[in-house]
Amino acid sequence: MSKSEAVIRRILGTERINVLPLSYAIEITAHCLFIQHMRMDDLMMERDVYSVAAKRLHKDPVTVTRNITRAANRCRDKIKAEGWSGRYIGEMVKDIGDPNMMIKYLAYYAYYDRPYYEVIGKRL
């Protein structure tokens, strides 16, 4: 089990959902942000992440995008419902945002083992 899969499973528990597309999206996002040093604003999720995940899975990009979005929304909803935004995002935020931002938060968590706001706070 990859690090990103473990993070997703920690959040969702034993919920029946295919986490592989979201796991790939998190890993690809982390690679783009931390290995290729892309700026977060320059990262185009459709082009840079979802299409690459679809190629890895040998599936239709529309289907993979939908799977990733659903899984990211489930993670977001679970984090909000359980009050875990401090643990996974680093601050208690009212609105976590869209699935793309959730993937970026999880990429930070999976790569650094620390939440987004804690990492960027140390970088500033």
Spans of all domains in the chain: 3-123
pLDDT at 33: 96
**CA–CA distance, 123 with 3 (Å, rounded to integer):** 23
pLDDT at 124 over 70: no
pLDDT at 107 over 70: yes
Per the CB < 8 A criterion, the answer to whether 115 and 88 are in contact is yes
Q: How confident is the model at residue 77 (pLDDT cuts 50, 70, 90)?
A: very high
The whole-model pTM stands at 0.92
Q: What is the mean pLDDT of residues 56-79?
A: 96
Q: Of all residues in the chain, what percent are helix, strand and coil, respectively (each to 5)? A: 75, 0, 25
Q: Which residue has the higher pLDDT, 96 or 20?
A: 20
Q: How confident is the model at residue 122 (pLDDT cuts 50, 70, 90)?
A: low
